[in-house]
Copies of this chain bind each other. A is one copy, B any other.
Amino acid sequence: MKKQVKAEIISVGTELLLGQISNTNAAWMSEKLADSGIPIYYHSVVGDNLERLTEVFQLAHNRSDIIFITGGLGPTEDDLTREAFQVMTGLEIVQDPVTIQKMENYFAKTNRTMTLNNLKQANVFEGAHVFQNSVGIAPGIAVEYEETIYLFMPGVPREMKSLMLEHMLPFLADKYSLSDVIFSRMLRFIGIGESQLEYELQDLISCQTNPTIAPLASEGEVAIRLSANADTKAAAINLINETESMIVKRAGQYLYGYDNDTIEQKVFALLQNQHLTISSAESLTGGAFASSIVDMEGSSAIFKGAAVVYQTETKADVLHIPEHIMKHYGTVSKECAEAMAEQVKSLYNSDIGISFTGVAGPAKQEGKEAGTVFITIINQQAVHQYKLHFSGDRDTIRRRSVKKAYELLFHLLKK
């Protein structure tokens, strides 16, 4: 039986604490390790300071079985990762002859002089496994101390990634003969709020332990991550399928996709498959819907174009919206939205016309509150009108309007 290991990641570097770079290394490693069935319990960032580094190592030593350490292995005086580990363990530092040879070749080839501090990069610990770095100088080091495994890698992302994939992951798989697998699937929902979805699934979420069910909200949509643990990938997938079907029974009408699917891509694919073209008339969104379609490769087959009519005058001049509609109902009205969708559909000669008019704010407009938005979708069957209200700042109201349009299109097209 596999020992249930606890692992953590320590990233060393003052530049992380100054906010000059984000800790993307920890995110990348965590994702890879989750896939390999090694759960990460903590990330820590600490600066290039001997005392604090030693403390962080000691803390990790007390709570974890596997400790990944990146950074602080370079040639400068600031690089203190090895020294701190030596303070804690008393292990002797020895030089790796292969690394020294690599450095000598490198300096000879580039006609540069190797300074003494460069040699520091060949320092490893007695009894360690030394893994050669195929994209840089400093090697990866794996060392066991009091039953805890320490894996050291440079902080440069390419070097860390190459060492992880080529050496560290195979080393761990071998060491722990990782027989059981963690497999995850993300279910993506739109048109239902996070708390509502959670309410629908409450009993499942609180009773279920394998797979676990974790709701995650992001703007205008919700995802549910199912993570199952089993002996084989097939068994894990089975567990996930069973839970998914229970979830789908309750909230299937809001499910639009899986894993890295986006609602934009789903709508795009539906348009492609049904050989439909679309055009947009945009007031408050200002071309943001159009731009989100053009983001996708192959958009010229489905997207005709857009009329961005931001001023009342332009709505009349370009889209020929009748004056009496704008005077009588206002430009922020379902009547204006309908006329915009109708005109753009005909002018741009598309199968579907969609329009956006509303108040992005912060000020009211025509007596209407910021966040009031009208969307009309005219397809070959009917005119579909929506009055919406979004809260938030200008940018949020505009982004949510565009996201909502994809939700509405998805529900119309998937029928």
Contacts and interface: CB of A to CB of B under 8 A. Distances in A.
A314 B308 contact: no
Given A194-B76, A198-B76, A392 B135 contact: yes
Interface of A is mostly: mixed
Interface stretch (A29-37, A139-147, A238-246, A261-269): A29-37
Contacts of A135: 392-393, 396
Interface stretch (A248-256, A289-297, A376-384): A289-297
Interface residues of A, number: 104
Contacts of A305: 307-311, 314, 318
Interface in A117-159: 117-118, 135
How many copies of this chain? Answer: 2
B110 A216 contact: no
B47 A44 contact: no
A303 interface: yes
B52 A41 contact: yes
Interface string A48-67: 00001001100100010000
A317 interface: yes
A321 interface: no
A108 to B, nearest CB: 11
A304 B286 CA distance: 10
Contacts of A231: none
A28 interface: yes
A393 B136 CA distance: 10
A19 interface: yes
Given A29-B19, A44-B42, A310-B304, A291 B286 contact: yes
Contacts of A29: 19
A325 interface: no
A15 interface: yes
Nearest to A301: B311
A50 to B, nearest CB: 13
A75 B194 contact: yes
A23 B27 contact: yes
A199 to B, nearest CB: 5
Interface of A: 14-24, 26-34, 39-47, 52, 55-56, 59, 63, 74-78, 106, 109-110, 112, 115, 117-118, 135, 184, 193-196, 198-199, 205-206, 214-217, 225, 279-280, 282, 284-291, 293-295, 297, 299-300, 303-311, 313-314, 317-318, 347-349, 360, 362, 389, 391-396, 398
> Which 9 residue pairs are nearest across A and B when measured between Cβ atoms?
A286-B294, A287-B287, A19-B31, A19-B30, A287-B290, A43-B45, A306-B308, A22-B27, A288-B291
